[in-house]
Chains A and B, each alone.
Chain A
Amino acid sequence: MSWVLDAQGLGKRYGRRWALRDCDLQIPSGRVVGLVGPNGAGKSTLLHLAVGLLAPDAGSIDVLGRAPAADASQLARVGFVAQDTPTYARLSIADHLHFGAQMNPGWDDAFARQRIAALDLDHSQRAGSLSGGQRAQLALTLAVAKRPDLLVLDEPVASLDPLARREFLQSLMAFVADGDVSVVLSSHLVADLERVCDYLVVLVNSRVQVAGEVEGLLATHRRLVGPRRDPGSLPTGQEVIEESHTERQSTMLVRCDGPVLDPAWTVEELSLEDIVLAYMGNAGTVRRTRAMKVLS
């Protein structure tokens, strides 16, 4: 199996603080992968390591089978849209297209020009005078027009208003449908990812809580509501992700291999957000405090 991203025991430290530690993660190729987790989970650090802006302090990471940013040809295979989509404020859109053309041998100029035309942007306009949404679109155009095999986006829509957010994600989906490209996209909002991703990785405190196809995640997770009982009494093949209890009733979010047959349970389907939140809560004290609140 070839992975677009393969991290083994990956770690990155700033001074004494580990921003990412003991991270093992494999991402299959040809997918649109959502990397979701709370702020400070290490998403940004992981993506910076993947594009070679950072070098690991522990473990290893391979992207498309090679060390990130190993040389110019490896750099050419990975497109990156950084958080807050930085551009050169004093340079025009035309300058940015020249920049892309000079810095990338595989530059698709026709595509870039057509994108700028479709966005109804003036080539002579300075990047500093663009709206946040327009700037994000420009950054996306630069990253896609270099025709990478892997496109990495670090919280690209976090600072955009809802309309710009939707437009950006629509552009992204058009690019993905357009070519044979793998995408890794991080966000702390599941709603953003739900629309575009077909594979999801939940990262909390450097650890992968769950990784898998979105369809598979939706098919194998259920909320069970029924009379109070001990989670240990569930049959094998049903793993409790999150639980809460009142005096008479138990609510459990479980991952199950097959259908839930016990007629005592009311079985509910879950949204992707429910599943992600359960795994994020599962990772630490959040779950315990929540459970205790319900019990008291």
Chain B
Amino acid sequence: MIAFSWRQFRAQAFIGAAGLVVLGAILLITGPNLVHVYDVAVAQCRASGGGPGGCVNPVATDDGKLQTLALALVLIVPVVIGMFWGAPLVARELETGTFRLAWTQSVSRLRWLLVKLGLVGLASAVVGGLLSLMVSWWFSPIDKVSANRFSPAAFGMHGFVPAGYALFAFVLGATTGLFFRRTLPAMAVTLVGFIAARVVVAEWIRPHFMSPVTEAVRLDPNAGWGISQSSGVLSVSVNPPDLPNALVVSNDIVNNAGQSPTTSYLEHACSFLPGVNGNPPSSGGGVSHVAVSPRGQQAFQQCVTTISAHFHEVVVYQPANRFWTFQTYETLLFVAVSAVLAGFSVWWVRRRLG
């Protein structure tokens, strides 16, 4: 049974393996150069008296096309696996009628399905995981500079969590193929379902894997500030403090009573800003803080200094050292959902397709 499932899957497996080998070779050849570029830039920076973070490191923009390609592959390969390995797995047998051959041999339907799901599911996880680990290794000098691997988008393109994504996409494809009995709709549903699951987890579930750290920080008038107006309401925001590789959940400006600056307070504190109190706006109707003239810049600086004196910043974040814990949790979450889907498939193939 395993040997025959492998025979059916062999051609697809070779394509997957060949893709990994080709990409691996490219990354192996170009990877050391990135390390070199990084090291040279750090050495130059030290020589000129700055720390490793004190200068712009050109490695972040080196091999730009390859960076984009590698990240895109980690992003889309799981869903491609779901569409091209998962969706046809059972649907093709149902479409071509070969299920009537397969299910009347001396192997129960349950075992037939579990072997297929197990074999190709394992291959999916291996391809997704290897691909991501290869790319993560290649990216490590760049990650040292950009320090954002915990960000909602980058998290899923690093570490081993793409193994969980690939397994989930595969089982989702196989299950929808079984349910719809046709490959094409199953592919479409897999694509949409996978994207939805990734977005929902990244946006709403991942930040709650552990209770985040809350920290009150003094406001820095020299940080990146923004004051915006929408339908008459003024609001102020500031870039979070430098927390390399942390996942910032929220970052609010509040006073000791926990209140954010009100519109009337901002009108008072920032009365000289363009766009506030009838001053001519600097651009468009809604005001961004773009300070065009030296006078505007000065007014803006006064404004944030006043705010900084009366308010502070509350940062809620997941610290950088939780990265691998979160990778484990999210992988387990996708494996668990895959197991539930596989359980549904087993029930469906035994009860409903009878």
Contacts and interface: CB of A to CB of B under 8 A. Distances in A.
Interface stretch (A87-95, A156-164, A208-216, A252-260): A87-95
A276 B174 CA distance: 46
B98 A72 contact: no
A76 B101 contact: no
A86 B98 contact: yes
A69 B196 CA distance: 39
Given A53-B103, A78-B104, A100-B105, A86 B97 contact: yes
Interface stretch (B3-11, B14-22, B23-31, B186-194): B3-11
A89 B96 contact: yes
Interface in A45-62: 48, 51-55
Nearest to B96: A86
Contacts of B98: 86-88
Contact of A103 (B97, B107, B354): B107
A71 B96 contact: no
A86 B100 contact: yes
A126 to B, nearest CB: 13
Interface in B98-132: 98-109, 111
Given A54-B354, A55-B354, A75-B108, A142 B101 contact: yes
Interface of A: 48, 51-55, 69, 71-73, 75-76, 78-80, 82, 84, 86-89, 91, 95, 98-100, 102-106, 139, 142, 146
Contacts of B108: 69, 71-72, 75
Contacts of A52: 103-104, 354
B4 A72 contact: no
A82 B107 contact: no
A88 B8 contact: yes
A279 B17 CA distance: 62
B69 interface: no
B94 to A, nearest CB: 11
A55 B229 CA distance: 66
Contacts of A75: 104-108
A128 B183 CA distance: 20
Given A53-B104, A98-B3, A103-B102, 19 more contacts: A51-B104, A52-B103, A53-B354, A69-B104, A71-B108, A75-B104, A75-B105, A78-B104, A80-B100, A82-B100, A86-B100, A87-B101, A95-B7, A102-B1, A102-B3, A103-B1, A103-B105, A104-B105, A146-B106
Given A54-B354, A99-B4, A105 B97 contact: no
Contact of B106 (A48, A87, A98, A105): A105
A80 B100 CA distance: 8
Contact of B7 (A78, A91, A105): A91
Nearest to B105: A103
Most buried by A among B1, B104, B107, B108: B104
Contacts of A71: 108
Nearest to A78: B104
27 contacts: A52-B103, A69-B103, A69-B108, A72-B111, A73-B106, A75-B104, A75-B106, A82-B97, A82-B100, A82-B101, A84-B97, A86-B96, A87-B101, A89-B96, A99-B7, A99-B105, A102-B1, A102-B3, A103-B1, A103-B4, A103-B102, A103-B107, A105-B106, A106-B106, A139-B101, A146-B105, A146-B106
A104 B112 CA distance: 13
A78 B3 CA distance: 23
Interface of B: 1, 3-4, 7-8, 96-109, 111, 351, 354
B107 A72 contact: yes
Nearest to B7: A95
A73 B105 CA distance: 10
Contacts of A103: 1, 4, 102, 105-107
Contacts of B96: 86, 89
A58 B73 CA distance: 52
B109 to A, nearest CB: 8
Contacts of A99: 4, 7, 105
Contacts of B99: 53
Contacts of A87: 98, 101
Contacts of A104: 105-106
Contacts of A80: 100, 104
Nearest to A70: B108
Contact of A91 (B8, B103, B351): B8
Contacts of A79: 104
Nearest to A89: B96
Contacts of A139: 101
Contacts of A89: 96
B4 A98 contact: yes
Contact of A72 (B3, B8, B101, B106): B106
A284 B354 CA distance: 30
A72 B103 CA distance: 10
A29 B3 CA distance: 35
Most buried by A among B1, B102, B105, B107: B105
Nearest to A107: B106
A89 B99 CA distance: 13
Contacts of B100: 48, 53, 80, 82, 86
A-B pairs with the 10 shortest C-beta distances? A55-B354, A103-B105, A76-B106, A82-B100, A86-B97, A80-B104, A104-B106, A86-B98, A75-B106, A102-B4
B234 to A, nearest CB: 61
Contacts of B7: 91, 95, 98-99
A95 B354 CA distance: 28
